[in-house]
Amino acid sequence: MPRRITATFEVVTPLFLGGADPSGSVELRATSIKGALRFWWRALAWSRHNGDLGAIRTEEQEVFGAAGQEGTASNGGTGQASFILRVLPIKGLKTISKDDVLRTEAGDPVGPGMRYFGYGLMAAFGQNPGQLTRPCLSAPFQFSIELVSRRPFADSVIDALRVMGLLGALGSRSRRGYGSLSLLSLAGDVEAWTSPKTKAEYANQLKTLLHRGPTRSREPPYSAFSGLSRVVVVAEGSHPLALLDHVGRQMQRYRSWGHNGKVNGEDSERNFQDDHDWFKSKTHFNDAHPRRAIFGLPHNYSKTLGVLSQIADRRASPLLVHVHKLTQNYIAVLSIIRSSFLPGDDKVWIWQGSPKRPDGDSKKIPANQLREPHLDWTVMNGFIDGTNKKIGRPYFPNSMQILP
């Protein structure tokens, strides 16, 4: 008889998850959910296998399948996943259409922090701030998925489900808090799950999951938990969108130089004088690159100058923002999942004029536009632990560290 697990989640912030045409439709897709589950499975696997990439790859193929390969004896040599995942029917979903304005619980346009985190999804400024460039699913709403397997579920899959429901999100800008998930229940062929009611319960559940394997202090080659990771609850509040906006405002305050000395109408802190001077020098041919590149690439300074990797179009941010539902309130959680910033011999590319690689060939980029990556991870810790210089108060005065 097949084994079954039903997992029920609540989406607590607007979800931008498109179909074949993301600009015209929005839908909750099993393939996207399975992809997210696989991400969290791999994030946990590094410590569980003590950094053995071969063992991680073998188990991953057994659990999730290996497209185009013959598979293994344990999965029948077919290359198929060990389980099927489907989304159960959902009622009452509400879509916010393209060109509509994304609004708060009070009906006002979302604040500058949410617009900052929603870069590319909505207008940040102008006459209609918060006006969407693509549709989204309005939050909150609940949905359930069903996993079906002909053999017992691996503990690693169940752990990944739980971590995805404590730290994960779906869709575009999911690393900036959009589409945040809260796992409400697990049912079926699985140990009972009790959704955390308080911040302390949340921390204890996450610590248990993240400390099940050996702690390694070597930097993983991909996004994975290790002794170098951080997870911190930074704020708590009764309204999830206001909470996300608060975190976004603080990041904007920390990172931005501002316009005419102002960020969102308040005095700019100007924390990155060196990055500003690098941009304003108009030479860009020294050995430096902006320290804020650690927040992810691309990092654009103007229409004619920006920062990319030599090979890839994008390096996802190692800093993940998550909003989680508790019984009475919501919490905002920041995770630094430290890993090798660029693979192999990849370099930081200071593009000028156009971000298009000459003839599409990364090897033809002028050598004087390439930099060896020198990453300053203290920049991210400076955001989590930093202080508003104008008022002498921490960005997050009531933060609670979970990991390490």
Would you say residue 220 lies in a domain?
Answer: no
Would you say residue 327 lies in a domain?
Answer: yes
> Within this chain, do residues 181 and 239 fall inside the same structural domain, yes or no?
no
> Within this chain, do residues 155 and 253 fall inside the same structural domain, yes or no?
no
> Within this chain, do residues 302 and 171 fall inside the same structural domain, yes or no?
no
Write down the pLDDT at residue 331.
98
Would you say residue 77 lies in a domain?
Answer: yes
- Contact at 8 Å (CB) between 36 and 62? no
Q: What is the pLDDT of residues 332-373, one digit of tens each?
A: 999 999 999 998 889 999 998 899 999 989 999 999 899 999
CB count within 10 Å of CB 163 equals 22
> Within this chain, do residues 26 and 169 fall inside the same structural domain, yes or no?
yes
Q: Which of 152, 177, 195 corresponds to the end of one domain?
A: 195
pLDDT tens for the chain, 404 residues: list them: 899 999 999 999 999 998 667 677 888 999 999 999 999 999 999 999 999 999 999 999 999 998 654 434 344 445 789 999 999 999 889 999 999 999 998 999 999 999 999 999 999 988 899 999 999 999 999 999 999 999 999 999 999 999 999 999 999 999 999 999 999 999 999 998 889 999 999 999 999 999 866 677 889 999 999 999 999 999 999 999 999 999 999 999 999 999 898 999 999 999 999 898 888 875 555 778 999 999 999 988 888 899 999 999 899 999 999 999 999 999 999 999 999 999 888 999 999 889 999 998 999 999 989 999 989 999 999 999 999 888 889 999 999 999 99
Domain span holding position 248? 230-403
3-state SS of the chain?
CCEEEEEEEEECCCECCCCCCCCCCCCCCHHHHHHHHHHHHHHHHHHHCCCCHHHHHHHHHHHHCCCCCCCCHHHCCCCCCCCEEEECCCCCCCEECCCCECECCCCCECCHHHHHHCECCECCCCCCCCEECCCEECCCEEEEEEEEECCCCCHHHHHHHHHHHHHCECCCCCCECCCEEEEEEEEECCCCCCCCCCHHHHHHHHHHHHCCCCCCCCCCCCCCCCCCCEEEEEEEECCHHHHHHHHHHHHHHHHCCCECCEECCEECCCCCHHHHHHHHCCCCCCCCCCHHHHHCECEEEECCEEEEECCCCCECCCEEEEEEECCCCEEEEEEECCCCCCCCCCCEEEEECCCCCHHHCHHHCCHHHEECCCCCCHHHHHHHHCEECCCCEECCCCCEEEEC
> Within this chain, do residues 185 and 234 fall inside the same structural domain, yes or no?
no
Would you say residue 81 lies in a domain?
Answer: yes
> Within this chain, do residues 145 and 260 fall inside the same structural domain, yes or no?
no
> Within this chain, do residues 302 and 254 fall inside the same structural domain, yes or no?
yes
> Within this chain, do residues 234 and 191 fall inside the same structural domain, yes or no?
no
- Contact at 8 Å (CB) between 159 and 212? yes
Please give the C-alpha separations between residue 359 and each of 96, 309, 346, 355, in angstroms, as whole numbers.
40, 16, 18, 12
* Cis amide bond preceding 373, omega within 30: no
> Within this chain, do residues 179 and 260 fall inside the same structural domain, yes or no?
no
Q: Which of 148, 172, 195 corresponds to the end of one domain?
A: 195
Q: Which of 195, 220, 239 corresponds to the end of one domain?
A: 195
* Cis amide bond preceding 14, omega within 30: no
> Within this chain, do residues 185 and 81 fall inside the same structural domain, yes or no?
yes
What is the tally of structural domains in the chain? 2
> Within this chain, do residues 259 and 178 fall inside the same structural domain, yes or no?
no
Would you say residue 209 lies in a domain?
Answer: no
Would you say residue 320 lies in a domain?
Answer: yes
Would you say residue 103 lies in a domain?
Answer: no
CA within 13 Å, CB half, 394: 11
User: pLDDT averaged over the chain?
Assistant: 92
> Within this chain, do residues 271 and 360 fall inside the same structural domain, yes or no?
yes
Would you say residue 330 lies in a domain?
Answer: yes
